[in-house]
Amino acid sequence: MSKECEVYTSKMLKTIEVLKSDFATVRAGRANPSVLDKITVEHYGSTMYINQLASISVPEPRMLAIQPWDASATKAIEKAIQASDLGINPQNDGKIIRLTFPQLTEERRKELSKSVKKMGEDAKIAVRNIRRDAVDTFKNQKKKSEITEDDLKDLEKEIQDATDKYCKEIDNETAKKEKELMEL
């Protein structure tokens, strides 16, 4: 891998990491603490993530237990979960907040599957944009006589190979997440 291409391939890799973290927040019928990663809580005048205010455990396959370190945060966490797009009503016993994940309906699975496909498509577009930026940079270097015509062809091929590889990986991750969503 040439140094010129390494910068762009690392950006492509970062795109895939972001996609995977986005996929982790999509609820697939099983309890997964990462669905709470993007939910913020207003507490003592500052905004924090739930995992900064409480420990999150999975006592059962379809349940999350959230135990705040400070009991006064319980109501704020409950309110934040209700305000989020999670679609689950928290049960609060004063010490622990329980989230019970219902079985996904066929309609909801299809809806989530569509949003997963869109996330995958957006990630592929991002990778292709990175490729375009790389090729533009290489062409400018050629124009300024910093690289030769042969170097330009080699770099274009190298960046295209990386693009193909990462687009295929995005397709694989998307298919894996869709399969997980469609499992009963």
CATH of the domain at 38: 3.30.1360.40
Query: In which domain, by residue range, is 156 found?
Result: 3-24+105-182
Which helix (H) or strand (E) segment holds residue 144: the answer is none
Return the pLDDT at 184. Answer: 57
Among 10, 14, 38, residue whose Cα is nearest residue 24: 38
Per-residue pLDDT tens over the stretch 134-144: 999 999 998 99
Is there a single domain that holds both residue 86 and residue 121? Answer: no
Is there a single domain that holds both residue 117 and residue 130? Answer: yes
Per-residue pLDDT tens over the stretch 164-183: 999 999 999 999 988 888 77
Secondary structure class of 179 (helix, strand, coil): helix
Is there a single domain that holds both residue 10 and residue 47? Answer: no
| pLDDT value at 132 more than 90 | yes
Name the more confident of 17 and 180: 17
How many folded domains does the chain comprise?
2
Number of H helices, E strands in the chain: 5, 6
| CATH number of the CATH domain containing 142 | 1.10.132.20
Return the pLDDT at 49. Answer: 87
How far is Cα 3 from Cα 71, in angstroms, rounded to an integer? 52
Q: DSSP string covering 40-84, please?
A: EEEETTEEEEHHHHEEEEEEETTEEEEEESSGGGHHHHHHHHHHS
Is there a single domain that holds both residue 112 and residue 176? Answer: yes
Return the pLDDT at 15. Answer: 93
**pTM strictly above 0.75:** no
Per-residue pLDDT tens over the stretch 32-48: 787 788 888 888 888 88
